[in-house]
Structure 1
């Protein structure tokens, strides 16, 4: 390499000066800089990225990547009690078999006449999700549950024409950050503190915020970031509707085999993440978001994302699958769209559809019962550890739950010690409080090992 301008990257063929110049000549541009003219100067870096020199040997590059990957310890290699939005569940082998078929794995985009199978698979996913959620309309998956929450709240803002958004249950800090970023500058997010004694929504505080007016939506999670299934969820619906606001509920769909869906207690819009439905953890990711509503025009018209529907064909008894109300999307409206919709996580929707079809109603109930039982046992067992308290004892928890350390050591110190014992868990929620999670993959022996390890660490 002689200079950054004339450098030729071994894996970027268009970086060759002659090739780059030919492309510029073809389109009539003087330099690559012209392509970025719309980006404000104040946010531009004005220097090359600080990157290492490219490895010119494929063998050297492969070895480097293997070394980087070896630094990761997955939840399959350690005993993990991590949750908070990305969960360790068993993914049946048939799910991987289907989603890794080439006709799904490589089908990024297409039209009904050339991509009929993918459209039908996603329609089947939407149909099963609609049955699980007891609604009529479910979207093709968006990036993740955080974005789904932000979009659902934006939908509420467009429907009501109001600005303020009230978050009434305990919310994950990362989710709160994403929602705030997604709804600005059109909406103000107001976090209503939960009752510190119960961890549940403070109905009086919510009512006081609603009385100030201009509330587009009340948002609640089921379960909340503390793992609590709040008994006040139906009352929040009454408060929201009494003030002319919509009620938006985020939920873990895996819990709906044993818990009533949001529509049953007044939710206008339900949203959440389908990672729990047959999607592997992937370096903290593997997420995809859903939005669900009743089949009412004022609700459906505000979906920015794709909806696949069923349509008759010219052949009796045969049906096609394609976009519903295409004109409301940014694909049709471009810069005039309600929101921009680009690359989604549709492949995860196909995986979730396979998972739902495989589990069926009885399987969903069984796995929900198992997680409720494991959660209850874990909370009871850890409460027996000296120096550990398990707050919010009167509330039902699903998967996630909170512990409080009383022995003087910090949550960060205890978490680090657990890692030394090959256990992931106890994500700090402050100096003396931490989050744990159990699912169907855990056993009684796993939970007992966590408890005895904490006894050793804390004593």
Structure 2
């Protein structure tokens, strides 16, 4: 029998307390078009387990496996080779079951792993401190904006046009409930970043400027002048990194005086996985550590002088009163953080630099080859492993045509910015160490045929 502890009377009383007339009122923020008003008519009311397994397997066979075709998708989620040892180690029972240590000092192994993760992330981002992970990159970005509001006591955030539109969308959703004003813009399909325009917008009401590095088109800029401009107005600079492998080759945002650096850690240790779960990275200057969301693990010694690990700061709603929490997006991606940390440990600093060099070299070869395709222009003057093409016509149908031929050519800007005609011809191409020279040639050949 089903376990339903609440009676209809219980539910009625609970709704009355919060001022809702029905359960449907709790879902008012979900667009009506996305809500079900009854059973899904295309699904049978029941089926045998065997029949469901066969049906789901048939649906799965319709997917294109990333490793089976030339693959150039990126725009915030990247295909890298993950060593088999990563998956083996994260499935050990002591890690797989000890997800969130609510009696933390008992789970010394989990705490030590998180401490090592924080150390690696801080070194990678160039920050003084890093927390024990966030839900994902987009929510980490919003948490940074909220943190800037608490520090500066201002409510206006300036978001670069080069910030991933999904991150912008998450920030807009959350800002509806906090009253933050978000100054947003669209990217321009060209080689220049919008740093000068961002600097011109900073005023005495600005809490922070949010900029992606490299940005959504793959462009790279020196963030130091922007950091100086922010600090001159007592605002904070937030840098967002969606491709952490890039930091094996580029100066870290922290080195350029960014106050808060956040990002998506998926590239290291975590597969594409249909878009999640991923792992958010969050680091900042030490003077802001008490406003940092999430949890912070620290190292200490016990009464006998032996090394031990503790939760030094844990200002999230699962641990303290909700109104005092620095974060109400309180999930930390513990298992994905472990995968990230194992992969980073296997690489080491020298390995990460070699991996970054492989990625950049492959992207350079691809950009040079694709630039020879008639009608194609490489937009970027600078890039790491991802760059943008202007293909001279709407990119979305071209991407679909190439996918039908077994080449996943990249992400069209028309998909990310629907209805924006000035961006419709843009195609973002990501080239990681998994793309071979044969893959690059297949992409160039298929693209030339599609544009002919």
Q: Normalization by structure 1: what TM-score?
A: 0.87
* Match status 1:79 vs 2:56: no
Over 3 Å counting, the alpha-carbon distance change for 1:234 and 1:195 in structure 2 is farther
Question: Where do 5+ consecutive residues of structure 2 fail to align?
Answer: 28-34, 415-423
* Match status 1:58 vs 2:49: yes
Aligned equivalent of 2:396: 412
Question: Distance in 2 between the 1:119 and 1:243 partners?
Answer: 39
Aligned equivalent of 1:428: 412
- Per the alignment, in what secondary structure is the counterpart of residue 323 of structure 1? strand
Aligned equivalent of 1:331: 319
Cα offset, 1:319, TM superposition: 2.1
1:193–1:202 Cα contact (<8 Å) kept: no
Cα offset, 1:54, TM superposition: 4.8
Q: 142, 165, 189: which one pairs with 2:157?
A: 165
* Match status 1:128 vs 2:128: no
Question: Distance in 2 between the 1:341 and 1:330 partners?
Answer: 10
Question: Distance in 2 between the 1:199 and 1:410 partners?
Answer: 22
- Per the alignment, in what secondary structure is the counterpart of residue 88 of structure 2? helix
Q: 30, 46, 60: which one pairs with 2:9?
A: 30
2:71–2:439 Cα contact (<8 Å) kept: no
2:105–2:309 Cα contact (<8 Å) kept: no
Over 3 Å counting, the alpha-carbon distance change for 1:35 and 1:78 in structure 2 is farther
Over 3 Å counting, the alpha-carbon distance change for 1:193 and 1:419 in structure 2 is closer
Question: Distance in 2 between the 1:105 and 1:343 partners?
Answer: 16
Q: How does 1:78-157 map to 2 (within 5 A)?
A: 78-110=69-101, 111-157=103-149
Of the structure 1 ranges 41-50 and 381-390, higher mean CA displacement relative to structure 2 is found in 41-50
Question: Distance in 2 between the 1:399 and 1:128 partners?
Answer: 22
- Per the alignment, in what secondary structure is the counterpart of residue 331 of structure 1? coil
Over 3 Å counting, the alpha-carbon distance change for 1:343 and 1:266 in structure 2 is closer
Q: How does 1:297-312 map to 2 (within 5 A)?
A: 299-312=288-301
1:86–1:285 Cα contact (<8 Å) kept: no
Cα offset, 1:179, TM superposition: 1.7
Aligned equivalent of 2:344: 356
Q: 437, 440, 443: which one pairs with 1:450?
A: 443
What is the aligned residue count? 428
Tell me the alpha carbon deviations over residues 194-244 of structure 1, each in whole angstroms, 9 at most, x when there is no partner: 5654331241x2233114x3000011111000011113x111111111111
Across the aligned residues of Structure 1 and Structure 2, the Cα RMSD in angstroms comes to: 2.3
- Per the alignment, in what secondary structure is the counterpart of residue 79 of structure 1? coil
Cα offset, 1:357, TM superposition: 0.8
Over 3 Å counting, the alpha-carbon distance change for 1:328 and 1:348 in structure 2 is closer
Q: Which has the larger radius of gyration?
A: 1
Aligned equivalent of 2:166: 174
- Per the alignment, in what secondary structure is the counterpart of residue 68 of structure 2? coil
Question: Distance in 2 between the 1:96 and 1:31 partners?
Answer: 45
Question: Distance in 2 between the 1:236 and 1:262 partners?
Answer: 11
Aligned equivalent of 1:342: 330
Question: Distance in 1 between the 2:160 and 2:137 partners?
Answer: 17
Question: Where do 5+ consecutive residues of structure 1 fail to align?
Answer: 1-12
Cα offset, 1:33, TM superposition: 5.1
Tell me the alpha carbon deviations over residues 311-364 of structure 1, each in whole angstroms, 9 at most, x when there is no partner: 211222x22222113356552122442331433211111111111111011101
- Per the alignment, in what secondary structure is the counterpart of residue 351 of structure 1? helix
Cα offset, 1:293, TM superposition: 1.3
Question: Distance in 2 between the 1:228 and 1:248 partners?
Answer: 17
Cα offset, 1:376, TM superposition: 1.6
1:153–1:183 Cα contact (<8 Å) kept: no
2:362–2:431 Cα contact (<8 Å) kept: yes
Over 3 Å counting, the alpha-carbon distance change for 1:327 and 1:189 in structure 2 is closer
Q: How does 1:254-273 map to 2 (within 5 A)?
A: 254-273=245-264
Aligned equivalent of 1:373: 361
Of the structure 1 ranges 92-101 and 331-340, higher mean CA displacement relative to structure 2 is found in 331-340
Over 3 Å counting, the alpha-carbon distance change for 1:40 and 1:374 in structure 2 is farther
Question: Distance in 2 between the 1:269 and 1:218 partners?
Answer: 10
- Per the alignment, in what secondary structure is the counterpart of residue 385 of structure 1? coil
- Per the alignment, in what secondary structure is the counterpart of residue 97 of structure 1? helix
- Per the alignment, in what secondary structure is the counterpart of residue 80 of structure 1? coil
Cα offset, 1:126, TM superposition: 1.0
- Per the alignment, in what secondary structure is the counterpart of residue 228 of structure 1? coil
Q: Normalization by structure 2: what TM-score?
A: 0.88
Question: Distance in 2 between the 1:193 and 1:54 partners?
Answer: 46
Of the structure 1 ranges 46-55 and 130-139, higher mean CA displacement relative to structure 2 is found in 46-55
1:201–1:230 Cα contact (<8 Å) kept: no
Q: 275, 278, 283: which one pairs with 2:269?
A: 278
Q: 171, 180, 190: which one pairs with 1:187?
A: 180
Aligned equivalent of 1:387: 375
